Structure 1
Amino acid sequence: MNMNRFILLLLIFFTTSICYSQEKKSIKETIIKTYYNDINSAINHYKKLKKETSNEYNFEDENELNNLGYQLLKDNRKEDALKIFELLVSEFPNSFNAYDSFAEAYFLNGNKELAIKNYIKSLELNPKNENAERFIVNVNYESRDKNKFKIGYTKQQYLEDLDELANTLTTVNPHPYKFMPKEDFWRVVEEKKKLITVTTTYSEFIWHCSELVANINCGHSSIPMYFIQESEMLPANLRFPIELYNINGKLYVVDALINKKMVKSGTEIRLINGKSSTEIIKDINKHISSQGNVGNAVKRHLFNGQSTAMIPYSFGFPKRYEIVIKGKKKPFVLNMLETYQFQLKNLNSCKETLCLDFIGEQKNTALFTIKHWDFYGNRFSIIKKFIDDSFTEINNKNIKSLIIDVRGNGGGNSWGASYLLQYLAEKPFTYYKVAPPNDAKLKPFTPFDNRYKGAVYFLTDGRASSTTGQLLALAKHLNIGTIIGEESNGAVFYTAGQKMLSLKNTGVFYSIGRYTHITNVDSISENGGVLPHYYSVQTIEDYLLDVDTPLEYTMKLIQNK
């Protein structure tokens, strides 16, 4: 036998033997096949196997138990999952991820105190564990004092917090002056300081803070939770006593509340306490965070949900309101509220987070709705399965027109958007041009063999932000479909990876974006959002009658095609 050939065969045999000897059975799969329905017995079986046959099973990989725990959570067996995660931390006491999972299981079982304790332990093992850090801050946010409206701090405390806020915004966010010149930003800071007096209240101060945060024009930097901090502490008798709707820069009554006898729904309001609707919207918009130099679209949606609170903050909490309506010259005084409960109106037919419906007379148009992309970690399998199953059904039914509704989708895990694009794109694409170095979306994606080949339409609005803006930017750049609605909240440039913080003295919570992400699109400006091919929003009449104007417009496009 040729010596080289003999050596080659020997190497192959040796390598195969090593690989074979290293193969170990999955302890997770073993438990699932044997004692999955009895976790106490499963744990005893685990310990017995480890003691008697440790070389046959994969006890070294902590993901075996970790994945088993999440499988139990997925099956809604929370208490059993907790037992597996308890075993996990005892087996891997130096693993930050084990304590992170243990903490999540405690939280899902309703034990917030032990959840925090284990997240703190996880942070001790890995100070860079942002999930643990985020959870602890969020718990503090949820347990915040919600009755601080009239509380006052010293002038010095307010000034210190303004300095802290301004300095943190401009050092943590990597691009604080991209959309607003540095000198303008700091000029506003000094203007706010001059407004602080010994009688300044917490409610007045947080209104000042919101303008500073909004001035860096970062969609991931804001006073968090859509004006909730400001709204929740506002007494009902100081609210503006009519719900308003901003459409194309005009203010319309959608619910007159206690003033129904004086003003009808659908009425346009021209003046409030002597200020025009244009002036009011301009002032309020300065306090609403958005991405880059986007137009009115994103800001009007937040106003529409919080008009009864935002107007009082803008006016300095007056105890009396008088309005002038279209067609009338004389103002009249409104009745003030005693109680108030806002009812959020659903703007599309989908009642769940993920929906697939077939619409039209022949049910030959697919309506595919995703309300957010918040499917991280093990939960990503949920949205992946939804997308896979949806396109299997769409293709099997030979659907020629697909409407993708992302209105109100404020973003989330960009893996969901990139996965969806693989069903829509005709050629390979790269999701990001710039992102943190370890982000795999900097590499090309290949479209799926069973990609959808029919006509695609996107429904969007000003609330479509972050990952959704990226999806729309790539779709428009790659000529994937037709976009209907209004400008999205950003498109190409984002500073994501937001971190929630609170000011030292006043405890105002705020979020800051930290990591630069630039979508791989050269045909759309970094300064704004994705402009639709066809602009379509509800008129006030359609809103009051629950008519989905953009969807009806899209159906007409499909019919006329």
Structure 2
Amino acid sequence: MKKKVFILLLILLSSSDISAQQNGKKSIKEAMIEYAYQDIEKAIGYYRKLKRQESEKYNFENENELNNLGYQLMNEDRKEDALKIFKLLVEEFPNSFNPHDSLGEAYLINGQEELAIESYRKSLELNPENKNAKWTIAQIQYQNRDKNKFDSVYTKQEYLDDLNELATRLTEINPHPYRYMTKEAFWGVVQEKKDLITDTTTYSEFIWHCSELIANINCGHSFIPGYFGQEREMLPDTLRFPLELINIDKRLYVAHALVNEDKIEVGTEIYSINGISGREILNDINKHIGTQGKVGNAGKRHLFNWQATAMIPYALRFPKTYEVIIKGKKEPIQLEMLENYEFPLAALNRCQETFCLDFSQENNTAIMKINNWDFYGGRFKILQKFIDDSFQEIIERKSRNLIIDVRGNGGGNSWGAAHLLRYLAKKPFTYFKEAPLGSEKLKPLNPFENTYQGHVYFLHDGRSGSTTGQLLALAKHHRIGTLIGEESNGGIVYTGGQRMNRLTNTGVFYMVGRVNHITNAPSVSEERGVFPDHYVVQTLKDFLTHTDTIMNYVIKLIAQDLK
């Protein structure tokens, strides 16, 4: 049972005090804090003394007393002291599953992974339904996974059993697995993959099959961790495709020639690879890239552009040599293969931090860049402070225009987007129309008194997903600003709360979204991402010259509006 969320921690802390008051006994947690909060060893000694001498006066029978004290210490970054309290908790309540879960988390935070797994497994013995324990064990195993399984071979039956397990788990855990693909079509693909399994199928071939099954439920929160990370990391450099390619308008162009600079120029269009057209290759690869709903090419294109040297070998079944047909030449060109590989392309991002705020005096414009919303629990105040401080400065400077750049922002805590919108909305809004019961975002959220009154421009692309898609959907529905860029990777339907899973035989790790949310923006399609008001993407020339096409566009648009 995860309790890192600070709001939940406060509830737990207060609940133990209330429980102590209700049964007429004093809080042992408060007694320990008052006696020796800065010396936990001394506080534990005091606990034992009170239990021996005055057990009837204190709430020793409530495990939340020690549990909450442990998390209070953990929240203050007193990790070793928290571990001592959780050890005491398990000693006092050895047959309760949650103390072992808490101790496992303390061990993990203190870097003792083997002991953490031992505690989580004990928690699972006591409560087989403890999903947090299962998930955390899988996370630890994922971090320590075998990264040298490329040529490993399992039995045909083990592969078939794992395909059944994967398909079943996907369709049982995800709340709407057949929303975008029919049940018959999904299970038809499962059978197609089973028919491809032989006694010589390798792990690398098998994980490629798995990625297609996961992509077929079209859930932006269901994927193989690392977004092609497991596949990429085990692929030998000598088997990588020896050109960096980019997908522009479903055509392949050379972004970097790597070891083939003397054979092919940057910017050259590749018509075919080993006799297969570029369009066919992209179509096959796109089947293995998951996006939210029926999002078009944008979301898949960006991932391909950063993983092309690895994705092409998987799509073509790991050829030992490559020959390409390029524009302007009829004869194929034999490519030199790589010996070592290092990604050579730089990301186009002027903000190297998690978030940045800049000002342009030329057109009286503020530029807010948010790279992710990954601030949960007690850390949320970091993001909240950035947003609050930014708007205070923006309003003080009387910035007439505000550019909010969320390109590449794949999501995170939706309270971040909600907090931002409260500075932009002109009237109360409800964030979700469907969400878990009790969610505060099912209720109207009021704009702040000092809302921004200028012109707002949102910059987004095919990597803008999850919470960012929700932000864009609400902004578009309420006409809060002008959207510029390309279709986002989702916007209305959001299946978060994903958990790590691991296939029984092959050990393939995968994530599945579990919790359904629907953003309250009825004018935006539930099937697709959020479309911009102005469609703008990089051209080939802009990509090769590192030109920020979308930013340049909005600057020109602002200049025109000022005239």
Q: Which TM-score bucket, shorter chain as reference?
A: 0.7 to 0.9
Could you tell me which amino acid in structure 1 is paired with residue 140 of structure 2?
A: V
Matched, 1:68 2:72: yes
Secondary structure of 2:484's counterpart equals: strand
Q: Which residue of 2 aligns with 1:533?
A: 533
Could you tell me which amino acid in structure 2 is paired with residue 72 of structure 1?
A: E
Q: Report matched runs for 1:112-261 at 5 Å.
A: 112-121=113-122, 123=124, 129-261=130-262
What is the root-mean-square deviation of aligned Cα atoms in Å? 3.3
Which has the larger displacement, 425-434 or 445-454?
445-454
Contact 1:69 1:85 in 2 (8 A): no
Could you tell me which amino acid in structure 2 is paired with residue 492 of structure 1?
A: I
Q: Report matched runs for 1:493-532 at 5 Å.
A: 493-532=493-532
Instruction: Sort the Cα spacing of 1:387 and 1:92 in 2 relative to 1 into closer, same or farther, 3 A.
Output: farther
Alpha-carbon distance in structure 1 between the residues aligned to 2:467 and 2:187 = 30
Q: Which residue of 2 aligns with 1:268?
A: 269
Q: Taking structure 1 as the reference length, what is the TM-score of the superposition? A: 0.86
Deviations 1:217-266 (A, max 9, x none): 11122222211111111111111011111122121212211111111222
Deviations 1:295-354 (A, max 9, x none): 01111111111101110111111111111222222221000011112356333111122x
Alpha-carbon distance in structure 2 between the residues aligned to 1:513 and 1:526 = 17
Q: Which residue of 1 aligns with 2:323?
A: 322
Alpha-carbon distance in structure 2 between the residues aligned to 1:102 and 1:551 = 49
Secondary structure of 1:204's counterpart equals: helix
Cα offset for 1:394? Answer: 2.1
Cα offset for 1:81? Answer: 5.1
Secondary structure of 1:207's counterpart equals: helix
Q: Report matched runs for 1:420-439 at 5 Å.
A: 420-439=420-439
Alpha-carbon distance in structure 2 between the residues aligned to 1:263 and 1:30 = 72
Which has the larger displacement, 341-350 or 494-503?
341-350
Could you tell me which amino acid in structure 1 is paired with residue 352 of structure 2?
A: K
Contact 1:96 1:126 in 2 (8 A): yes
Could you tell me which amino acid in structure 2 is paired with residue 68 of structure 1?
A: Q
Deviations 1:93-114 (A, max 9, x none): 7886665554444333322223
Q: Report matched runs for 1:32-51 at 5 Å.
A: none
Instruction: Sort the Cα spacing of 1:69 and 1:167 in 2 relative to 1 into closer, same or farther, 3 A.
Output: same
How many residues are aligned here? 538
Alpha-carbon distance in structure 1 between the residues aligned to 2:229 and 2:206 = 15
Which has the larger displacement, 56-65 or 390-399?
56-65
Secondary structure of 1:560's counterpart equals: helix
Contact 2:241 2:313 in 1 (8 A): yes
Q: Which residue of 1 aligns with 2:356?
A: 356
Q: Report matched runs for 1:46-61 at 5 Å.
A: none
Q: Which residue of 1 aligns with 2:10?
A: none
Contact 2:207 2:508 in 1 (8 A): yes
Alpha-carbon distance in structure 2 between the residues aligned to 1:375 and 1:122 = 28
Alpha-carbon distance in structure 2 between the residues aligned to 1:384 and 1:210 = 36
Secondary structure of 2:308's counterpart equals: helix
Cα offset for 1:80? Answer: 4.9
Contact 1:358 1:364 in 2 (8 A): no
Secondary structure of 2:538's counterpart equals: coil
Alpha-carbon distance in structure 2 between the residues aligned to 1:178 and 1:185 = 11
Structure 1: gaps (5+ residues): 1-18
Cα offset for 1:204? Answer: 1.2
Secondary structure of 1:447's counterpart equals: coil
Alpha-carbon distance in structure 2 between the residues aligned to 1:174 and 1:346 = 35
Secondary structure of 1:150's counterpart equals: coil
Contact 1:65 1:88 in 2 (8 A): no
Contact 2:25 2:57 in 1 (8 A): no
Deviations 1:160-215 (A, max 9, x none): 22222222222222322211122222222222222222222111111112112111
Could you tell me which amino acid in structure 2 is paired with residue 234 of structure 1?
A: L
Could you tell me which amino acid in structure 2 is paired with residue 65 of structure 1?
A: L
Secondary structure of 2:451's counterpart equals: coil
Instruction: Sort the Cα spacing of 1:41 and 1:384 in 2 relative to 1 into closer, same or farther, 3 A.
Output: farther
Alpha-carbon distance in structure 2 between the residues aligned to 1:84 and 1:320 = 59
Matched, 1:460 2:460: yes
Alpha-carbon distance in structure 1 between the residues aligned to 2:521 and 2:459 = 20
Alpha-carbon distance in structure 2 between the residues aligned to 1:117 and 1:279 = 48
Contact 2:32 2:44 in 1 (8 A): no
Which has the larger displacement, 444-453 or 83-92?
83-92
Instruction: Sort the Cα spacing of 1:478 and 1:330 in 2 relative to 1 into closer, same or farther, 3 A.
Output: same
Structure 2: gaps (5+ residues): 1-20
Q: Which residue of 2 aligns with 1:285?
A: 286
Cα offset for 1:134? Answer: 2.3
Alpha-carbon distance in structure 2 between the residues aligned to 1:187 and 1:57 = 58
Alpha-carbon distance in structure 1 between the residues aligned to 2:35 and 2:226 = 45
Q: Report matched runs for 1:376-455 at 5 Å.
A: 376-455=376-455
Alpha-carbon distance in structure 2 between the residues aligned to 1:361 and 1:34 = 57
Could you tell me which amino acid in structure 1 is paired with residue 76 of structure 2?
A: L
Alpha-carbon distance in structure 2 between the residues aligned to 1:426 and 1:234 = 52
Could you tell me which amino acid in structure 1 is paired with residue 143 of structure 2?
A: E
Q: Which residue of 2 aligns with 1:9?
A: none
Secondary structure of 1:167's counterpart equals: helix
Could you tell me which amino acid in structure 2 is paired with residue 416 of structure 1?
A: G
